[in-house]
A = this chain, B = another copy of it.
Amino acid sequence: MPREVGEQYKKILKKYITNQSEVDLYAGQNFSKQFIEKEISPEDLISIHKTAVEEMVANLPTEVPHSFDFLIEMMIHYGLALKEHQSLLKKQE
């Protein structure tokens, strides 16, 4: 996964955390469409999110990154179901 995607994500996330505006929230939603098109899995998204939060938040309690590791594992089955869907769609094309 390109590092560039992570940097872009961090930028949008930072903007949202600073302003908490609806506009930035919708920017995120639109950005997520690109993620799906690029076949970035939901567990990869959590991983990108984890890195962004670690880089952005000072004095992050250690429980937070650990909790993200758990969430990544939880998300793996969602990712598999989604992959199944993407390959079904390709077959139908």
Residues in chain A within 8 A of chain B (CB atoms): 12-13, 16-17, 20, 24-26, 28-29, 31-33, 35-36, 42, 45-46, 49, 52-53, 56-61, 63-64, 66-67, 69-71, 73-78, 81-82, 84-85, 88
Q: Is the CB of A70 within 8 A of B28?
A: yes
| Residues in B neighbouring A49, C-beta threshold 8 A | 67, 71, 74
Please, which residues of chain B bring their CB within 8 A of the CB of A67? 13, 17, 49, 52-53, 56-57
Q: Which of A17, A42, A85 has the most CB of B within 10 A?
A: A42
Q: Hey, which chain B residues are within 8 Å of A66, CB to CB?
A: 16-17, 20
Q: When chains A and B are docked, how far (Å) is the Cα of A46 from the Cα of B35?
A: 17
By the criterion CB–CB under 8 Å, are A74 and B31 in contact? yes
Give CA–CA (A26, B76) in the complex, Å: 11
Complex: how many Å from CA A43 to CA B46?
11
